[in-house]
Amino acid sequence: MTPNPSSHETGAGATKVIVVGAGPVGLLTVLRLAQSGVYVDVLEKEEKLNVTPRACSYYAAALHALQRAKVLDDVKKAGFTTHGLCWRGPLEDDGKGGKKFGDMLASLPVVGNEGWDSGVVNLQQAKLTKLLYQKVLETGRVTVHLGTRVIGIEQDSASVTATAVRGDGSQEQFQGSFLVGADGGRSATRRLLGIRLKGHSWPERLVAMDVLLDGVEFDEKFPSSLFVDPVYYGLMSPLEEPRTGTESLWRCTVAVDPTDARTDDELVSEKSLEELLLKAVPGPRPLPFKVLRASPYRVHQLCASTFNRGRCALAGDAAHLNNLWDLRPVSLTPKLLQMR
């Protein structure tokens, strides 16, 4: 638990909200509430903030939401700005035993003035989450309860009570005027409220990797590229500002053949990750690389039948799981936009 003593001293009649989930959507919600004078209890089932490979780029709508939360300058300072993305064909032979990028099929320049909408801000979601976490604590109106899993929700016409269990098995009840469930695609909030998802899931799985690459080829104008392939499509995008001839960190996400019967654990084995990277990364063969993190994902097109029930609301993946290849390399932007 990360306590803020003042968050318990709400005073008579003060509004308190419970937010379930300490990801970027939950924390941005918390920050906007705290900035409006609302006290918040955050219930996060994990003992630590999530560091798995997730979103890495933020476009105009998300930047606007971050600007309204007064954190955009900090986000830009923590990351770096590029000016668009492109679509490419599969890798091609470079005539020297290695691979080079396929032809550029299309590009999407992202231009703007020098204000909030200028370019694409690149920052790992884990770093954005950490930044928002610090900002919510600085408000003095927020208490974050890590390792606290919600197991029950009751509400009446005036309040909501969430029952949660801690890692040691002890239980605690939290009461608020409202509750926001921002606890991801497997949302306990959604399940406890009896809200069902509708839609479908795609057969493909994606494997997202944070990879150190040395001197990798990239287009200075469009360093982020989506590569088109009937089976092994994906994304290659810098996680730190790339410089020619130097080692830098990249996000490589590659689709897996839908007929591949391997388990998720088998997909992130060293051999499997190398096979996937060879389909995405240009350069010599064998390819020098170091995978720092890897995580498999399912691709969904699902939406909750309703986003609210009584005094409880859903946000982010708890409300909708979108196909992240819908002309975007990431799917966090529309979720952050909800929280403006």
Structural contact between residues 303 and 318, judged by C-beta atoms closer than 8 angstroms: no
pLDDT at residue number 99: 97
Using 50, 70 and 90 to split pLDDT, how confident is the model at 5? Answer: very low
CATH class for the domain made up of 84-118+202-299: alpha beta
In the predicted model, is pLDDT for residue 172 greater than 80? yes
Q: Please confirm whether the linkage preceding 284 is cis (ω < 30° from 0).
A: no
Q: For 55-84, what is each residue's pLDDT tens digit?
A: 899 988 899 999 999 999 999 999 999 989
CA-based R_g, the chain, Å: 21
Question: Could you identify the residue written with the tokens 């009461």?
Answer: 175
Does residue 245 surpass a pLDDT of 80? Answer: yes
188-213: pLDDT as tens digits: 999 999 999 999 998 889 999 999 99
Q: Which CATH number fits domain 16-73+123-196+305-321: 2.130.10.10, 3.50.50.60, 1.10.238.10, 3.60.10.10?
A: 3.50.50.60
Q: What confidence score (pLDDT) does residue 105 get?
A: 95
Angle subtended by helix axes 24-35 and 125-138, to nearest 10:
20
Give start-end residues of each CATH 3.50.50.60 domain in the chain: 16-73+123-196+305-321
Cα separation, 216 vs 148, in Å, equals 42
Q: Give one DSSP letter per residue of 118-168, joined into a string.
A: SSEEE--HHHHHHHHHHHHHHTSSEEEEETEEEEEEEE-SS-EEEEEEETT
**78 vs 303: CA distance, rounded Å:** 32
Residue 119: per-residue pLDDT: 87
> How confident is the model over 25-48, as pLDDT tens digits?
999 999 999 999 999 999 999 999
SS3 content of the chain, % helix, strand, coil (to 5): 20, 35, 40
Tell me the three state secondary structure of residue 221: coil
Residues of the chain with CATH 3.30.70.2450: 84-118+202-299
**Type of residue found at 252:** C
- pLDDT tens for 283-313 read 999 999 999 999 999 989 999 999 999 999 9
Residue 180 clears pLDDT 60, i.e. is over it: yes
The residue ranking higher by pLDDT, 8 or 173, is 173
The pLDDT, as a whole number, for residue 258 is 94
Cα–Cα distances in angstroms (integers) from residue 259 to residues 81, 205, 255, 262, 264, in the given order: 38, 10, 12, 9, 13
Q: For residue range 121-143, what is the model confidence (pLDDT) as tens digits?
A: 999 999 999 999 999 999 999 99
